[in-house]
């Protein structure tokens, strides 16, 4: 049995990284964040209700403060603490956290409202306060957690230490993913490998020789998480590693040799002692498609009516800025590859293609840029008002009509043009299963800064991992992406 005494001086850098983590502080920050969000949501609901006619005693709701621990308990049961997105029971990141937070908040709000009316009487408490506080809390809690992670995830104390076993390509990918998304909550503090090839670090993380160090190092570093990133190893080797760590590390994640599979809807199944993975395609279920269509119609009507005055102003600005029609129609690939006419406010000059040809013919660097992104940062085709419309994504407002027609969805893959289909290779077979969206993963993740191949991968991920909560997550992030204007040109 390995003991802490087996730890060599070479592990000192890893131990320093591990001891900088403060899991208790991370948990405390999340708890305070949740309490603040719940208090803010309830206070705002009471304040709004106070603006309406009728007497209301605002101090009465202060007596409900003992209910706050119920929310924390429900969040704990839902797996929202300690806030690590990769522990067993939580699939992947913010989408699943959003779903669990909304469900847990709703259950406690319903129980609290029912018990308040039963024990104190419906006359004393306003139903409107509970009806307002409910959706406000469902928005405030995930938003506050997102802001907390954006602020604190890069700090040395955030998260929990994690060991990575395997210094190959997969191990490097795992470390890169965890470092790129510190909000996941796992901080790689050491990489272990039996053949480190003379290296002492991998992606800035200390690299140690010897997988046998995993158990004693985990004990010394108080690391409750380890990731076995060695998918190419034989089954017997992986079983031996798992057996060595059994009873030593509470959370052991083994990366399988199944790259490209969806991740949100993959579930482990026990087939009489045989481990199996079930992959569910949510977008192939008829009931799910009807639900998505109903949400598209209701939201498209609401947003379209609210944006009608703005649309009229945009149309007038386009007419005054340059000659040509207000609405631009372009053939795009719809569901199952069926072409349709996507509508946009015109943002280009009428001789756009001729201008593009001249620029590409004269500038090799811009030809390379166009080949990589299928876009140009300084596009000579775009008008003055068109540049502003693109920055604010207002040019896509007419696509609400495409949503009503059924050509598009509010959220979905990018609407590709037919000329791009040969460059999609085999990805079109997956992406074109569903209608394209006005917004999507690539739009809220960098937009035109993402290479064409990266957009394809994001769209594949969306189709394979779709859920109503993923759509809600993308819709919630869309206004922020517009405000930040990342990759908008």
Mean per-residue pLDDT, 394-402? 94
Mean per-residue pLDDT, 66-85? 85
d(CA 438, CA 368): 27
Mean of per-residue pLDDT scores for the chain: 83
Query: Sorting pLDDT into bands at 50, 70 and 90, what band is 390?
Result: confident
Give the pLDDT confidence score for residue 89 in this predicted structure.
38
Residue 251, class by beta-carbon neighbours within 10 Å (0-12 exposed, 13-18 middle, 19+ buried)?
middle
Residue 336, class by beta-carbon neighbours within 10 Å (0-12 exposed, 13-18 middle, 19+ buried)?
exposed
3.30.930.10, 3.20.20.70, 1.10.287.10, 3.40.50.720: which CATH number matches 4-19+159-259? 3.40.50.720
DSSP 8-state code for residue 195: -
d(CA 325, CA 346): 7
Least confident segment among 177-186, 355-364, 404-413, 455-464? 355-364
* DSSP output for 229-244: --TTS-HHHHHHHHHH
Q: Is the peptide bond prior to 126 cis by the omega test (within 30 degrees of 0)?
A: no
Helix (H) or strand (E) holding 165: strand 160-165
Mean per-residue pLDDT, 155-184? 88
Phi and psi dihedrals of 439, rounded to 5?
-125, 165
Hey, which residues does 409 pair with through a beta bridge? 437
Query: Of the spans 111-125, 199-213, 355-369, which averages the highest pLDDT?
Result: 199-213
Residues of the chain with CATH 3.40.50.720: 4-19+159-259
Least confident segment among 154-168, 335-349, 459-473? 459-473
Checking if the pLDDT of 122 tops 70, the result is no
The residues, ordered by sequence, that sit 6+ positions from 452 with a Cβ below 8 Å of its Cβ are 372, 373, 374, 420, 423
Q: Check residues 195 and 31 and name the one with the higher pLDDT.
A: 31
Q: Which two tokens stand for residue 293?
A: 């269509």
Query: Of the spans 56-65, 91-100, 111-120, 421-430, which averages the highest pLDDT?
Result: 421-430
Q: Check residues 367 and 309 and name the one with the higher pLDDT.
A: 309
Percent of the chain with pLDDT over 90: 31
Give the pLDDT confidence score for residue 4 in this predicted structure.
46
**pLDDT tens sequence across 202-255:** 888 999 988 888 889 998 888 988 999 988 888 888 888 888 888 888 888 888
**pLDDT tens sequence across 275-309:** 777 777 777 677 788 888 999 999 999 999 999 99
Give the pLDDT confidence score for residue 257 in this predicted structure.
72
> Residue 43: which of 111, 144, 129 has the closest Cα?
129
Pairing type for strands 201-202 and 205-209 reads: antiparallel
Is the CB of residue 420 less than 8 Å from the CB of residue 426?
Answer: no
Checking if the pLDDT of 196 tops 60, the result is yes
How many residues in the chain? 489
Give the pLDDT confidence score for residue 259 in this predicted structure.
60
Mean per-residue pLDDT, 187-192? 92
Is the CB of residue 440 less than 8 Å from the CB of residue 474?
Answer: yes
Find the radius of gyration of the CA atoms of the chain: 26
Percent of the chain with pLDDT over 70: 88
Checking if the pLDDT of 55 tops 70, the result is no
**pLDDT tens sequence across 312-328:** 999 999 999 888 899 99
Mean per-residue pLDDT, 36-53? 87
Q: What is the pTM of this model?
A: 0.74
d(CA 244, CA 214): 9
Q: Check residues 101 and 93 and name the one with the higher pLDDT.
A: 101
Phi and psi dihedrals of 252, rounded to 5?
-115, 120
DSSP 8-state code for residue 348: B
Map tokens 């969805």 to a residue: 409
d(CA 333, CA 418): 6
Least confident segment among 26-30, 89-93, 372-376? 89-93
Give the pLDDT confidence score for residue 121 in this predicted structure.
52
Give the pLDDT confidence score for residue 329 in this predicted structure.
93
Pairing type for strands 274-279 and 327-333 reads: unpaired
Is the CB of residue 328 less than 8 Å from the CB of residue 347?
Answer: yes
Is the CB of residue 347 less than 8 Å from the CB of residue 382?
Answer: yes
Give the pLDDT confidence score for residue 103 in this predicted structure.
92
Checking if the pLDDT of 335 tops 60, the result is yes
DSSP 8-state code for residue 188: E
3-class SS of residue 319: helix
Give the pLDDT confidence score for residue 92 in this predicted structure.
46
3-class SS of residue 60: helix
The residues, ordered by sequence, that sit 6+ positions from 465 with a Cβ below 8 Å of its Cβ are 92, 262, 263, 264, 265
């Amino acid at each position: 049995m390995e003991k802490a005494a087996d730890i060599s001086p070479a592990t000192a850098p890893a131990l320093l990284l591990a001891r900088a983590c403060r899991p208790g502080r991370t948990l405390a920050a999340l708890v305070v964040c949740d309490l603040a969000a719940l208090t803010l949501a309830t206070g705002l609901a009471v304040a709004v209700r106070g603006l309406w006619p009728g007497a209301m005693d605002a101090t009465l709701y202060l007596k409900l403060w003992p209910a706050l621990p119920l929310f924390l308990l429900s969040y704990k049961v839902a797996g929202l603490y300690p806030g690590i997105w990769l522990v067993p029971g939580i699939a992947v990141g913010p989408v699943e956290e959003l779903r669990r937070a909304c469900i847990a908040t709703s259950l406690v709000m319903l129980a609290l409202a029912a018990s308040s009316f039963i024990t104190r009487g419906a006359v004393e408490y306003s139903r409107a306060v509970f009806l307002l506080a409910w959706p406000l809390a469902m928005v405030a809690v995930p938003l506050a957690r997102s802001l907390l992670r954006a602020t604190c995830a890069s700090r040395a104390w955030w998260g929990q230490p994690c060991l990575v076993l395997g210094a190959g390509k997969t191990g490097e990918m795992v470390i890169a993913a965890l470092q790129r998304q510190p909000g996941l909550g796992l901080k790689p503090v050491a990489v272990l490998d039996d053949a480190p090839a003379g290296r002492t670090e991998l992606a800035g993380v200390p690299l140690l020789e010897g997988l046998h160090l995993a158990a004693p190092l985990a004990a010394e570093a108080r690391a409750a998480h380890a990731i076995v990133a060695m998918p190419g190893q034989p089954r017997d080797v992986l079983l031996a590693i798992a057996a060595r760590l059994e009873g030593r590390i509470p959370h052991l994640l083994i990366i399988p040799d199944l790259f490209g599979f969806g991740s949100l809807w993959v579930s482990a199944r026990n087939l009489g002692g045989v481990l199996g993975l079930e992959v569910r395609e949510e977008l192939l279920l008829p009931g799910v498609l009807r639900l998505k269509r109903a949400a598209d119609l209701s939201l498209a009507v609401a947003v379209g009516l609210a944006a009608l005055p703005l649309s009229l102003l945009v149309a007038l600005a386009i007419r005054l800025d340059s000659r040509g029609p207000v609405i631009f129609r372009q053939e795009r690939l719809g569901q199952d590859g069926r072409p349709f006419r996507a509508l946009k406010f015109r943002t280009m000059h009428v001789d756009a293609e001729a201008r593009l040809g001249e620029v590409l013919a004269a500038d090799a660097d811009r030809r390379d840029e166009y080949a990589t992104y299928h876009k140009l940062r300084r596009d000579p085709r775009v008008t003055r008002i068109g540049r502003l419309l693109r920055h604010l994504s207002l040019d896509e407002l007419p696509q609400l009509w495409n949503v009503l027609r059924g050509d598009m969805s509010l959220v979905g893959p990018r609407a590709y043009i037919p000329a791009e289909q040969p460059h999609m290779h085999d990805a079109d077979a997956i992406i074109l299963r569903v209608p394209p969206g006005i917004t999507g993963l690539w739009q809220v993740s960098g937009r035109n800064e993402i290479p064409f191949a990266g957009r394809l991968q994001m769209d594949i991920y969306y189709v394979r991992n779709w859920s109503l909560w993923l759509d809600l997550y993308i819709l919630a992030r869309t206004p922020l992406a517009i405000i930040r204007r990342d990759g908008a040109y």
